[in-house]
Chain A
Amino acid sequence: MTEASPKVIEPTIFDLSTPGRRGVAMPASDVPETALPNKNLLRSELPLPELAEVDVVRHYMHLSKFNYSVDGGFYPLGSCTMKYNPKINEDTCRYPGFLYTHPLQPIETVQGNLFLIYELQEWLKEISGFAGITLQPAAGAHGEFTGVLMMRAYHKSRGDEKRTKMLIPDAAHGTNPASVGMLGMSVVTIPSDERGNVDLKALEAACDDTVVGMMLTNPNTLGLFDENIEKVVKLVHDCGGLMYGDGANLNALLGIVRPGDLGFDLMHFNLHKTFSVPHGGGGPGCGPVGVAAPLADFLPAPLVGIIEEGDEETPPLYGFVTPKHSIGRMKAFQGHFGGGLVRAYTYIAMHGPDGLKDISQYAVLNANYLLARLRSTYHVPFDRICMHEFVAEGQFEGSDIRALDIAKRLMDYNFHPPTNYFPLIVHEALMIEPTETENKDTLDLFADALIKIAEEAKSQPDLLHNAPNNTLFGRMDEVKAARELVLCCWLPDNYEMIK
């Protein structure tokens, strides 16, 4: 017996295709015709969809309605900083002068772009307290890899070849160890203490002359600022290691403290978290890396610098420079200029120093407010004043309800769930990051919903087990997806026969 075919809510673009339908047409050729290359160099068929423009618009409009988004509601996905993305960013990044400039144009013709990059470099250095910066990395993980390459190059340049160990706390994002793994280094996991800080004894024991450095997220993924941060930095520096900051949680620190001042040697930014570049359903991100002076010569190439000083009458000439001992190029061209740097520049320009401090203060206030409202209902294992996020346990004594059930039930109340099952050191973790762009009413509704769900967990657990109930789609068969691996669709076999 064959399985019943599943009900299709929205056909794919291949399902919708009909032979002979036309979308956007191109102009006729205005040049004399040249024969095509020899037939054996040509493809035999082009099995791509055929649709009219209206078919395409309706299809993607339908799909858009299946998504939950920040524009649509509260999205407290911990560690992702799902703040409101100002609409003006969407306009500035599409100004023709940005949109239609080619990455290989002569520098004299793109001074506006180069000035923007240069000034954003200066601003991010000022915000973070670093001496040098690259805006080239494409995302946070790409920034981490850039940073680890620089740490490796720094030690090598000093003839210090035996450093192969990276210290990484157990609360760290998975990208940290993965970035280290890409270079064949080993990872030493450092536990957290009972207050959610780095365990200093364990750190001290791990610090020796084989340590490349430490990768630390501060505030960490529990949302806690490490109370011993200066001791942590000193221990790592004393054994000759470098201190790497994962800037994923920088939204807590703008105008509060500069990682460079705390002794960090390098750090990546996530412009798509802290500086309002929209998350795009999974990117593009933007992951600049700031470095202290001793690492500046290792930055990837190219950077933007002043290559001819200006005077009272002429502005300086901005162009590309290559650091002396550069680790090389991280990607083609200059980085995520249009979609990343222009939006972040717009955002910082509109906030100024006081506005940036407000962002972090209110991000932290909102998180602490939710924590205060929820701590009597949900166990918070490391309960002290948090920064921009906190982690609660999504489980109750004597109940089989899990964090996943709570997350899915939140969808019935029209909220996006928090990050769940991360960090790994908290059982049934629910990691909640409200950001500064939510008002008190929204936070109250969310807290009310979570408190109600805790009651439902006792009185009507099936509501949670079966959740979500009110959404268009229910829980997914993830095993089937992994077992059958249907990763691609095609036009139907009898396609040409379709009328």
Chain B
Amino acid sequence: MTYIPISPNERDAMLKTVGVKSLDDLFDAVPKKHRFPKLNLPPALTEMEAASLLGEMAQSNENVREHMVSFLGAGAYNHYVPSVVDHMLRRGEFYTAYTPYQPEISQGTLQAIFEYQSLMCNLTGMEVSNASHYDGATATAEAVSLAYAQFRGKRKKIVLSPTVHPQYREVIRTYSQGMGLEEAGDETSANPNVGPEALISLIDENTMLVVVQYPDFLGRIYDYTNLIEVAHAKGSLVCVVANPTALLMLKTPGEMGADIVVGEAQPFGIPLWYGGPYLGFFTTKKSYVHKMAGRLVGETVDSRGQRAYVLTLTAREQHIKRERATSNICTNQGLLALACAVYMSVLGKSGLQQVANLCYQKAHYAADQLSKIKDFTLPSTEPFFHEFVLACSKPASEINQLLLENGIFGGYDLGKDYPTLKNHLLIAVTEMNSKEEIDSLVESLKEISND
């Protein structure tokens, strides 16, 4: 299959205009001995054949809609996406445009991003939002970069809660390799079961940033107001990594006084897609806007007195500041910011509140039922939203294997990240899990318990 719309006659006419005899003659600058390598790739398929091949690959997976009952969360959540979302994403006007460098003919993208920024600010209780990051993990890593820039490298310590998503903490470490940071709080010896008060004693005058998650990786809801006050008293910034669905119900990190609120917006209209692309959101206070990475859309007027939008404060960015830029980010997650905005708009305030309430109610029903099974307990008494830890009678990996045979993805095996939690599952419940599905999980675990 080819998508080249040039006939042989047209090609010959064009070659003549260029002044060469053949297409191959255009490549004389390429060293001859390496020119035109034979690529060992399978022969071209037609559209029909490609559709069938990809269809077979897709069908060989067990998916969480058609084959499996899933209680997997841990950073990626199975939510319902209203039909309208994908209909809008499939508009070629949106998905085949690029970064809106020419605002006169890009107002669709620009206004949509401005609205996305506004929705995220209202959700998190913060003052400014950028146009997106690659995902929640890289958004969190960029929060560290913001703090580093804010203190001009003079403060070198970050306090990292052990219950920030383990992969996010890995990404922070990857990103900060050149900063020479001191990290405290999430050593392997750290006890994940203790709350944020354990972090307080670690915050000192050298601390540039404290990073906590809300609800934390184990699902628990803590009010970080006190922690944030202590951090501010020491001059440190605080970043809260938040779940957007939980924010629909819970006190906002903005109300708690957070300086930066980031997170993964995949739950808002983006399919699971085996891990990506997702959408990192990044919101902060206006006073940090010049240190913030990423694209930013601002309101203005055009030459005809019409309200319009442009990319603004671009002098922070790589194409102008080069090695002194706050970040190297260029292409971000534009289309997924649109997905998020359409999702929030079409569910609206009441639909979103329903989603949050369903997650909360179903998760609590599940927790209540599971805790009644012999040898299974809920180790935490803290409030939770839609994810919680279940302590099991045997290693979580064994439990998951047995559940798999019953067509259930049981939960995330916490033993992989926390050596003391080998027998613990992290269970996520969303509006997609019916009572029947929850009951089947409970029944399956009862059988396992009796064996």
Chain B residues near A68 (CB-CB < 8 A)? 97, 102, 105-106
Chain A residues near B168 (CB-CB < 8 A)? 332
Chain A residues near B248 (CB-CB < 8 A)? 43, 46
Instruction: List which A193-245 residues lie within 8 A (CB) of chain B.
Output: 224-227, 229-230
Chain B residues near A29 (CB-CB < 8 A)? 357-358, 361-362
B107 lies within 8 A of A63 (CB): yes
Chain A residues near B275 (CB-CB < 8 A)? 103, 332-335, 337
> What 0/1 readout, one digit per residue, does chain B (28-45) give for beta carbons within 8 Å of chain A?
111100111111111111
Assess whether A160 is interfacial by the CB under 8 Å rule: no
Assess whether B332 is interfacial by the CB under 8 Å rule: yes
A116 lies within 8 A of B57 (CB): yes
B111 lies within 8 A of A66 (CB): yes
CA distance A36 to B84 in the complex (A): 30
CA distance A211 to B350 in the complex (A): 58
CA distance A13 to B50 in the complex (A): 40
* B362 partner, pick from A14, A31, A129, A359, beta carbons under 8 A: A31
Instruction: List which B140-187 residues lie within 8 A (CB) of chain A.
Output: 145, 165, 167-168, 170-171, 173-175, 177-179
Assess whether B257 is interfacial by the CB under 8 Å rule: no
Judged by DSSP, the binding face of A is: loop
Given known contacts A174-B322, A480-B300, is B331 in contact with A257 (CB within 8 Å)?
no
CA distance A416 to B435 in the complex (A): 53
Least CB separation from A477: chain B residue: B300
CA distance A98 to B60 in the complex (A): 10
Chain A residues near B322 (CB-CB < 8 A)? 174, 177-178, 181, 187
Instruction: Please choose the segment from A288-296, A348-356, A392-400, A452-460 that sits at the chain B interface, where 4 or more of its residues have CB less than 8 A away.
Output: A348-356
B271 lies within 8 A of A338 (CB): yes
B105 lies within 8 A of A411 (CB): yes
A65 lies within 8 A of B93 (CB): yes
Chain A residues near B38 (CB-CB < 8 A)? 353
CA distance A96 to B272 in the complex (A): 10
CA distance A41 to B223 in the complex (A): 7
Chain A residues near B54 (CB-CB < 8 A)? 92, 95, 342, 345-346, 349
Assess whether A159 is interfacial by the CB under 8 Å rule: no
> What 0/1 readout, one digit per residue, does chain A (459-473) give for beta carbons within 8 Å of chain B?
000000010100111
B308 lies within 8 A of A144 (CB): no
B170 lies within 8 A of A329 (CB): yes
A337 lies within 8 A of B318 (CB): no
> What 0/1 readout, one digit per residue, does chain B (97-123) give for beta carbons within 8 Å of chain A?
111111111111101111101110111
CA distance A88 to B137 in the complex (A): 31
> What 0/1 readout, one digit per residue, does chain A (1-34) give for beta carbons within 8 Å of chain B?
0001011111011100000011111110111111
Instruction: List which B56-70 residues lie within 8 A (CB) of chain A.
Output: 56-66, 68, 70
B17 lies within 8 A of A473 (CB): no
Chain B residues near A226 (CB-CB < 8 A)? 29
* A102 partner, pick from B72, B94, B320, beta carbons under 8 A: B72
B66 lies within 8 A of A100 (CB): yes
Chain B residues near A42 (CB-CB < 8 A)? 249-251
CA distance A64 to B89 in the complex (A): 10
CB distance from A300 to the nearest CB of B (A): 7
Least CB separation from A7: chain B residue: B306
CA distance A177 to B324 in the complex (A): 8
B165 lies within 8 A of A102 (CB): no
CA distance A179 to B114 in the complex (A): 27
Q: Interface residues of A toward B: which range? A: 35 or more
Assess whether A163 is interfacial by the CB under 8 Å rule: no
> What 0/1 readout, one digit per residue, does chain B (11-34) give for beta carbons within 8 Å of chain A?
101110111100110111111001
* B94 partner, pick from A64, A224, A336, A486, beta carbons under 8 A: A64
A48 lies within 8 A of B119 (CB): yes
A67 lies within 8 A of B46 (CB): no
Chain A residues near B129 (CB-CB < 8 A)? 487-488
The size of the chain B interface, using a CB distance under 8 A, is 209
Assess whether A494 is interfacial by the CB under 8 Å rule: no
Instruction: Please choose the segment from B196-204, B338-346, B372-380 that sits at the chain A interface, where 4 or more of its residues have CB less than 8 A away.
Output: B338-346
A115 lies within 8 A of B328 (CB): no
A356 lies within 8 A of B39 (CB): yes
Assess whether B76 is interfacial by the CB under 8 Å rule: yes
Instruction: Please choose the segment from B232-240, B291-299, B387-395 that sits at the chain A interface, where 4 or more of its residues have CB less than 8 A away.
Output: B291-299
A112 lies within 8 A of B122 (CB): no
Chain A residues near B223 (CB-CB < 8 A)? 40-41
Given known contacts A98-B61, A138-B135, is B310 in contact with A476 (CB within 8 Å)?
yes
Chain A residues near B128 (CB-CB < 8 A)? 487-488
* A95 partner, pick from B58, B278, B303, B318, beta carbons under 8 A: B58
Given known contacts A36-B360, A141-B329, A174-B322, is B108 in contact with A63 (CB within 8 Å)?
yes
A437 lies within 8 A of B4 (CB): yes
Chain B residues near A113 (CB-CB < 8 A)? 57, 61, 274
CA distance A13 to B107 in the complex (A): 14
Assess whether A105 is interfacial by the CB under 8 Å rule: yes
Chain A residues near B448 (CB-CB < 8 A)? none
Least CB separation from B397: chain A residue: A106
Chain B residues near A14 (CB-CB < 8 A)? 115, 118
Which among B40, B74, B271, B349 has the greatest number of chain A C-beta atoms within 10 A?
B349
Instruction: List which A109-123 residues lie within 8 A (CB) of chain B.
Output: 109-113, 115-116, 123
CB pairs A–B below 8 angstroms (24 shown)? A23-B82, A23-B346, A43-B125, A63-B112, A66-B106, A67-B105, A68-B102, A98-B61, A102-B76, A141-B330, A174-B317, A279-B97, A280-B94, A332-B168, A332-B275, A334-B276, A338-B276, A355-B44, A357-B39, A472-B107, A478-B312, A486-B298, A487-B117, A489-B299
Known: A23-B351, A300-B174. 19 other contacts (CB 8 A): A9-B308, A23-B350, A27-B358, A41-B221, A56-B342, A90-B90, A96-B58, A99-B63, A100-B271, A105-B409, A140-B330, A177-B322, A282-B131, A284-B276, A333-B135, A349-B53, A355-B2, A369-B14, A487-B312
Nearest first, the 5 closest Cβ-Cβ pairs linking A and B are: A97-B58, A338-B273, A333-B275, A282-B334, A71-B92
